Homo-oligomer: A and B are copies of this chain.
Amino acid sequence: MGDNGRTRARPEQHSGSGATGTRRRGRALEDAILDAAWEVLVDHGYTGFTFEAVATRAGTSRPVLYRRWPQREDLLLATLAKNWQPVEIPDTGRLRDDAITFLRRLNADRARNVVVMCIQLADYFRDTGTSFCDLRDSLRPSGSSAPLQVIVCRAVERGELPDVPRTDRILNLAFDLVRHDLLMTMDALPDESIVEIVDEVWLPLLKAAG
């Protein structure tokens, strides 16, 4: 039906950062949206993670999002996939240094991410009946083993540890404890805690497991 009195305020300008007046397309647009989506997720959790909020933050409009990700979950998974980076595994030649360095990196990195991915996503987990465990598994590069397992393997190869079978529980204990503290306090661990976990708990168990 004819003219419904719309009066185009100004062309556009996507209110983003540089705002060159140019209109974003394809990959560039998609990246900008997913970055905006990540920020929204960090700031407001899954509950505040609405098409409305993400579109506004990205300086675009909801239809643009709906065209790419019909469901909120699709947008969420795309956002996570783009922003999740595995923590680098150090190789210093000494078990204790490897462990402490790795856990420090983990602590710094996941103090942001784990809180987002586990705590903020609680509603997502409830809605879908999945758990943090499932999500982690689906984001970890398939076939790769747990970081601490790699570190222990190297120590065994160097002869730093006896070559005896160890349970996953023991191998991942230090990782689990750091994650536990992150979840409980929703904040990074003090460095002393990391050293304590390695020296008082993990290493003694690894050495005693013979």
* Chain A interface (Cβ < 8 Å from any Cβ of B): 44-45, 47, 118-123, 125-126, 131-133, 167, 169-170, 173, 176-177, 179-180, 183-187, 193, 196-197, 200-201, 204-205, 208
Contacts and interface: CB of A to CB of B under 8 A. Distances in A.
A187 to B, nearest CB: 7
A122 B45 CA distance: 8
Copies in the complex: 2
| CB-CB nearest 10 A-B residue pairs | A122-B122, A180-B180, A131-B186, A119-B122, A133-B184, A47-B123, A47-B47, A45-B126, A176-B180, A133-B185
Give the residue among A121, A122, A125 with the most B Cβ atoms within 10 A.
A122
Nearest to A196: B169
A180 B45 CA distance: 21
Contact of A123 (B122, B173, B186): B122
23 contacts: A44-B126, A45-B122, A47-B47, A47-B123, A118-B183, A119-B125, A119-B126, A120-B122, A120-B126, A121-B122, A125-B186, A131-B185, A131-B186, A131-B187, A132-B186, A133-B186, A167-B200, A169-B200, A169-B201, A173-B201, A176-B180, A177-B180, A179-B180
A120 B131 CA distance: 12
Give the interface centre of A119, A120, A133 by most chain B CB atoms within 10 Å. Answer: A119
A40 to B, nearest CB: 13
A57 to B, nearest CB: 17
Contacts of A45: 122-123, 126
B205 A204 contact: yes
B180 A197 contact: no
Given A122-B122, A123-B123, A204 B208 contact: yes
